[in-house]
A and B are shown apart, each in its own frame.
Chain A
Amino acid sequence: MRIVAENLNFTYNKKSKFAVDALKDVSLTIEEGSFFGIIGHTGSGKSTFIQHLNGLIPVENGRLTVGDIDLSGKQKEVKKRYKELRAKVGMVFQYPEYQLFAETVFEDVAFGYRNFFPDAQPDEVKTAVFGALSLLGLGAEYLDKSPLDLSGGQKRRVAIAGVLVSNPEVLVLDEPVAGLDPAGKNELMALLHKLHDSKRVKTIVIVSHDMDEVCENCTDVAVFSEGQIVFKGKPEEVFKNVEQMNDLRLGVPVTSFLTDELKKIGVDIDTDFTQKDFIEKIASHYKNNK
């Protein structure tokens, strides 16, 4: 399912002195099958935008459709669609492990399933929980453990399993690897790719502050600033705008910084800015010219 936002506006604390325009005329299409990166400085409206995607923030002004679910219009009507919406769009917040609460890993993940399928038989719940945990690389030995006894990376994977267990088509993750050590980061990113490649989750949307990470992992990017979208497109297009990205306080991936510096001394490298491609292009340039 495709997500289409048209002229979305949102103001926090409307009519008070604390009023903040968080989104201004945001129009964005997230195609099914994309691995979408949302970037922007702190307070740029990224989190506000993604919270619209599963109805945590109601559409105040503008239009938003998620697949065939229309989230605009009379909120009383729209609210009736929230349950269907939330089963299809799974949301993983910043530091989701803070929300783990049950005594065992099994119970925590099962809570997510029962929430959407209250009439599920115990066997069905079990199968779903097993399935979700194994997708995140956690075997049966974790089922009876207390979530509190796990490492940071494991806790986070349990929290993601609790969202994945209801089989969402779209998975939205707000800074999924923040706070993880490098090994944990790489592991989690690889798992997300596996989910995406196997089409278990059709569309993945991540919010990230890490330009290199977005460049390496995403098929499409949207850059938020002051509640508006300033760039959208493929990473290789967006990260060409070195100066503007620096002005936006975001910077660019190392590869794009280097390409830009080389250009200044007359060396033109045509790369998509992924590390693999960049290294190959530099190596062949060197070989051909030395």
Chain B
Amino acid sequence: MQAIEFKNVSFSYGSEDGRSEVLKNFSLTIKQGSFVALLGRNGSGKSTCAKLINGLLIPNEGTVTVFGMSTAEKDNLFEIRKRAGMVFQNPDNQQIASIVEDDVAFGPENIGLDREEIKKRIDFALKVTGTEGFRDSQVARLSGGQKQRVAIAGAIAISPDILILDESTSMLDPKGRQEVMHVVRTLNKEKGMTVIDITHYMDEAVEADEVLILGDGVVKAQGSPDEIFAKKDIIAECGLELPRSAKIAESLKKAGLPLGDGILTKESLSERLCELLRKI
């Protein structure tokens, strides 16, 4: 079964007369168990997509289905939201309790799990997000990055089948971002959790199975990171850029170094560069 399916979806915000259409006749399928990076400039409809998936928004036209359930059916929403967890960009928008542990407990309590299970979920979520040390801290006293980790813990505690990260690592330090992505990656591989990662970090998109570029309300490109980052014109047109190492590799190639194609990470750039310079 497809985890998520958008069928000819149109969506616009605002009143009848002052409408600005964000998605136009938009179709998309996301396979269960895949790890998808969603890219596009600010205002390209990425967050709108995320909110359409868990029924925070309902399409004006067309349908969005999650594991076959339409988001337009009110009766489906509880089940959809249980299965599709979402972490917003600004953690302040989704933190409820004043103490970290209670905040992470909110989701599992809400879906009616028993006490033992809730405790297990909280322990796991705090551990993998590196927030164990803040268990008894006040949420309001945490730094932006710490709050983001707690928000991610809250989503993981529900053990969703789909995890939607809407720029949820933007306030983390580089290592923190790597760690969180590693956790998400592991849940994706071991538990088959479908991940949709909305990001402006091209280096993060390189790690995904599939990359999707949104622009002008439609899917501009869809494919593996290698395929997508080879399409330099679409990348530029959509306000994106190559991953940093790819950019440096391009400049080095222009300067006459035969480094070859397909360099997207610093590791592969380092490998090719060392190989080339060792020989001379």
Contact = CB atoms under 8 A, between A and B. Distances in A.
A184 B280 contact: no
B277 A286 contact: yes
Given A43-B143, A249-B175, A262 B277 contact: yes
A265 B142 CA distance: 43
B262 interface: no
B144 A182 contact: no
Interface stretch (B55-63, B119-127, B224-232, B241-249): B241-249
A223 to B, nearest CB: 11
Given A181-B41, A254-B245, A283-B252, A42 B171 contact: yes
A184 B41 contact: yes
A42 B176 contact: yes
Q: Among A178, A181, A210, A286, which residue has the most Cβ atoms of chain B within 10 A? A: A181
A289 B280 CA distance: 6
B170 to A, nearest CB: 5
Given A183-B41, A249-B176, A283 B143 contact: no
A175 to B, nearest CB: 7
A47 B143 contact: yes
A116 interface: no
Contact of A178 (B146, B171, B252, B256): B171
Contacts of A43: 142-143, 145-146
Interface in B62-115: 89-90
A18 B141 contact: yes
A218 B244 CA distance: 18
A250 interface: yes
A233 interface: no
A279 B251 contact: yes
A179 B89 contact: yes
21 contacts: A18-B141, A41-B145, A41-B175, A42-B172, A42-B173, A43-B145, A179-B167, A181-B40, A181-B200, A182-B200, A182-B241, A209-B171, A251-B175, A254-B244, A262-B277, A267-B274, A275-B247, A279-B248, A282-B252, A283-B252, A286-B256
B269 interface: yes
B176 A258 contact: no
Contacts of B141: 12-13, 18, 20
Contacts of A210: 174
Contacts of A261: 270, 273-274
A279 B240 CA distance: 22
A287 interface: yes
Contacts of B200: 179-182, 185
Given A182-B239, A182-B241, A279-B252, A41 B173 contact: yes
Contacts of A209: 171-174, 177
A43 to B, nearest CB: 4
B137 interface: yes
A249 B145 CA distance: 13
B42 interface: yes
Nearest to B143: A43
Interface in B236-280: 239-241, 244-245, 247-248, 251-252, 255-257, 266, 269-270, 273-274, 276-278, 280
